[in-house]
Structures are given as C-alpha cells and as structure tokens.
Amino acid sequence: MADYAHTDFAAKGRAEKARRLAAYIWQRDITGAELLALSPATRRKLARAAETNPPGTDETWSLTAELLDEKDAWAQRHPNHPAAQRACSDEKILWVKPPVTPWHAPPPEPPGG
C-alpha cells in the first residue's frame, strides 16, 4: 500500500494549498524568509486568516515560501504591472513584528543637581 503523502494526488494538493497561501500572504508583504521564521502557531493562524486549512507539514510551508520569493522577483521585474501591487501590505504588522529597539532611560541626575 502506497503512503498517501508521497502520491501525485498529495503533491497536487500541497501545491494548490501553497498557491492559495502564497496569494494571501504576498498581498501582506511577507517574504518567504519571514514566513518560515514565524512560529508554527502564527503560521496556523495565518492559514486560517487565508481561509485555508493549515498545512500539516513544513513541506507545504517551504513551497509557499518559494512561491513568495518567485512572486517578489517577478514583481521587481514588472513594477508597473497591476499584479505587482500589494493591496494589504499594512497588515504585515499583524503577522511579522519588527524588532524592538531597547529603550534606555537617561541616567538619573545626581541629588541636589
């Protein structure tokens, strides 16, 4: 009996899911590297936001990241094409948090100064 995960049907399903995820994620200006750096819990939430059942394997997420990188490269080569414009890039902050710069308080002034 063949393992379902290694059938052509399963590979086709992973590719379709990766395309759906990439279409949603690319609009939010999330790169492939940023996607793979997200925690598994955040990736699951992102998939649900994309109205897609979260992938059960990293293989689908890796394929999604590759598709994002391909679309980024294409968009850079065709900046004036309507499909190269992101509609929801302001939503990136919901998923990818920028690094926090530590805030250091100024040293206290000496007493009587």
The CA distances from residue 80 to 10, 13, 77, in Å, are 36, 32, 9
Tokens of 2: 């063949």
Band (pLDDT 50/70/90 cuts) for residue 2 is low
Tokens of 51: 């109205």
> pLDDT of 4-20, one tens digit each?
667 788 889 899 999 99
The separation between the first and the last C-alpha atoms of the chain, rounded to the nearest angstrom, is: 83
Residue 55 has a pLDDT of: 94
Calpha distance 72→54 (Å, rounded): 23
Calpha distance 24→63 (Å, rounded): 14
Neighbours of 31 (CB within 10 A): 16
Is the distance from CB of 1 to CB of 33 less than 8 angstroms? no
> pLDDT of 42-77, one tens digit each?
999 999 999 999 998 899 999 999 999 999 999 999
Residue 23 in this model has a pLDDT that exceeds 90: yes
Calpha distance 64→17 (Å, rounded): 8
